[in-house]
Chain A
Amino acid sequence: MEILSFLAKFGIYAVMLAILIFALGVVTLRNLFHCALCLAAALIGTAGIYVALQADYLAAVQILLYVGGVITLVIFAIMLTEHLAGKTVRQNNSQSPLAIVGSLGFIILIGTLIVKTPWPVNPVALKAKASVLELGQALMGTYVFPFEIISIVLIAALIGTVVIAKKDPQ
């Protein structure tokens, strides 16, 4: 059984490495479509990490929303602007050094936060498992008010897009 857990660990690290490589691809590749595909791969990899952490529901929603929804939208946008699809675009400009400084600062901030936070690893926290049933009951019970508010906001956004996309009255 030790071999199996070792293999699982190895697999998770391999997936993490792949996510990093694809994420690098998103920001370095010169072709917009390739970038979008790399982003899709990185997002699927993240779903894999969720599965490894026993959050199946989150993984399914991640793939459904990000890969099925957002990436499709991105690719649709690229396809509609066909002259962009075949061309290579530079991903850096004169502001790159400043951006590097900014992102390094952000990484250092996040890193210190992660190191300093005392992560509560106790038996209760390890056994906690977010099942769909509990999530649904929480959404319909404890958190029903925020849930309804979010639904109203989403419907407002939907109607708003329809209004914006409508033809102007001449």
Chain B
Amino acid sequence: MQDLGASINMIFVTAKAWFLSLLGLFLPDWVIVLASIVVSGVVILCLGPVIMMYLTLLERKLIGRIQNRYGPNRVGIWGLLQPIADGIKMFTKEDIIPANADKIVHLLAPIVTVVPALMIFVVVPFGTQMTAVNLNIGLLYFIAVSSITILPIFMGSWASRNKYSLLGGMRTAAQMISYEIPMTLAVVPAIMMSQSLSTNTIVLSQAGSHGLNWFIFTPWGIVGFIVFFLCATAECNRPPFDLPEAESELVAGFHTEYSGMKFALFYMAEYMNAFTLCALAATLFLGGWQGPFLPSWVWFFGKTFILICVMIWFRGTFPRFRVDHLMAFAWKFLLPLTLINILITALCYFASPLVGWLLSLGILAVSFSILVKLNRTFVPEKRDYLFAD
């Protein structure tokens, strides 16, 4: 029984090893080395777009249910072929380039935008021994690569020569730079506790006795997780942080002038970012692939799926932020909260569990209430006019 569980757990790793040994029968060594890279690469390159396709379907279905309607259900059973139909539509659409656009940059932007989105998949630990490249600076790599995602959006918005695009680009830049800082700082407690930057080691350090020693079950973990998840939602421009493409204000923001496959690439990058950010939130705070009974990759995809559903739930329920509220939220609320969180992580590390818990809960409660008080928006008092009504 345990053998079976272990073999299901390692099914993908075994499949890759089997495939490589099969190649080894009739091919030289250096081809095998290349092939082991190519296998992981091809899996990731296929996984990204496929995940994106079915995320769009999931999102439309769930949003449909939230809005009390069915969502796509005409193409295939439960609309399962809808993403493929959408893909065909995108491929056959006319590609429009504005007359005054900067043609090269306009073309490059959607292509470049997919690259960092795919690159992050490399350090995501999908299961036991299922990290494509186990970098010992995995988390730093993720932060570095995700800081590039601003550039292609800038390129697209600037090259379109459209004022709505440019406004969207400016908003994106301001938003992404602001939310990157609390996101990076929210990750720090997980690094401090696992004493490693490698995503694999971070998951391993959350093992415990039944694979249930997740970081989210600690005071600093829950704060870190909430801050990270909010910042992740802002980083991939999803509602309620969708100011860069706010359709009621900016037409479609930075991708106003894109059509057909180029638009699809922007869309794809956004959904892949949503997936990888949820995956990393699960990795850092929800124990990654750790969990009792089920195979590791089921746990991993299950946690990621739940987080994505929460993101979709956000979209279905929250109205969009106002620009100044958005900035104030990042700089005046999340940033100090993450700094305090780093402090209490150190406290939890050095103090005994009970003292650590009580002290950190106390500090968190006090600082949270102070931050909320300080951030209260100024509402002028209602004025009573004596002589004018």
Contacts and interface: CB of A to CB of B under 8 A. Distances in A.
Contacts of B154: 72, 75, 79
Interface string B33-58: 11000000000000000000000000
A21 to B, nearest CB: 15
Contacts of A132: 136-137, 140, 197
A1 interface: yes
Interface string B125-162: 00000000001110011011101101100110010010
A44 B29 CA distance: 31
Contacts of A61: 140, 144
B105 interface: yes
B90 interface: no
A62 to B, nearest CB: 8
Interface residues of A, number: 29
Given A3-B30, A37-B155, A68 B105 contact: no
Contacts of B136: 56, 131-132
Contacts, number: 73
A82 B161 CA distance: 11
**Interface SS of chain B: helix, strand, loop or mixed?**
helix
A64 B29 CA distance: 36
A5 B266 CA distance: 36
Contact of A85 (B147, B151, B158): B158
Main secondary structure of the interface of A (DSSP, over half): helix
Interface string B91-121: 0000000000010010000000000000000
20 contacts: A1-B33, A34-B105, A40-B151, A44-B148, A56-B135, A56-B141, A57-B140, A60-B137, A60-B140, A63-B147, A64-B143, A64-B144, A69-B147, A72-B154, A72-B177, A75-B173, A79-B169, A79-B173, A132-B136, A132-B137
Interface of B: 29-30, 33-34, 102, 105, 135-137, 140-141, 143-145, 147-148, 150-151, 154-155, 158, 161, 166, 169-170, 173, 177, 180, 197
Interface of A: 1-4, 31, 33-34, 37, 40, 44, 56-57, 60-61, 63-64, 67-69, 71-72, 75-76, 79, 82, 85-86, 131-132
